[in-house]
Amino acid sequence: MRYLLNGHSLVLDSARCHGCGRCLEVCPHGVFALADRQAVITDRAACMECGACRMNCPEDAIAVSSGVGCAVAIINGMRGGEVGCGTDCACG
């Protein structure tokens, strides 16, 4: 399924990429592929910006601004609290 602004902040710096394939291993939405021993973004619109690829890229070749895609957490933040789940979150 697709949402709004999916993958807009995802940037891959090909010059730094050594093609280790970690991003393919960690991405839960199949956003990346390997071509000529280089990672490429093949399905940007599927990206939920979770940040797993950036976290696990040993060459620091990936940038993405991640955060919780949760309206309640965002509203909590707007009401002066922290952007976060609170105690009665549906997420276990």
Partner 1 sequence: MRWGVGRMRYQVEPGLYRLGEPTPESPVLVTANYKLTVDTVRKALKGFDVWLLILDTKGVNVWCAAGKGTFGTAELVRRLELTGLAQVVTHRRLILPQLGAVGVAAHEMQRLTGFTVRYGPVLARDIPAYLHSGYRATPAMRRVPFGWKERLVLTPMELVGSWKPTLGILAALAVLHLLQHRALTPHLAGELVPVVGAVLAGGVLVPLLLPWIPGRAFALKGAIVGGLWVALAQVLLPTGLVEGLGIALVGIALTAYMAMTFTGATTFTNYAGTLLEVRWALPAILASAGAGCLLRLVAVVA
Residue type, 62: I
Angle at 69 between CA 10 and CA 88, to 5 degrees: 155
CB of 29 to partner 1, least distance (A): 7
Please pick, from the candidates 16, 18, 29, 44, the single residue that binds partner 1 as defined by CB under 8 A.
29
Q: What angle do CA 41, 33, 44 make, to 5 degrees?
A: 25
- Taking CB under 8 A as the criterion, the residue among 16, 25, 35, 81 binding partner 1 is 25
Residue 14, SS3 per DSSP: coil
Q: Least CB distance from residue 26 to partner 1, whole Å? A: 4
Catalog residues that contact partner 1 under the rule CB under 8 A.
1-9, 22, 24-30, 46-52, 55-56, 58, 65-75, 78, 85, 88-92
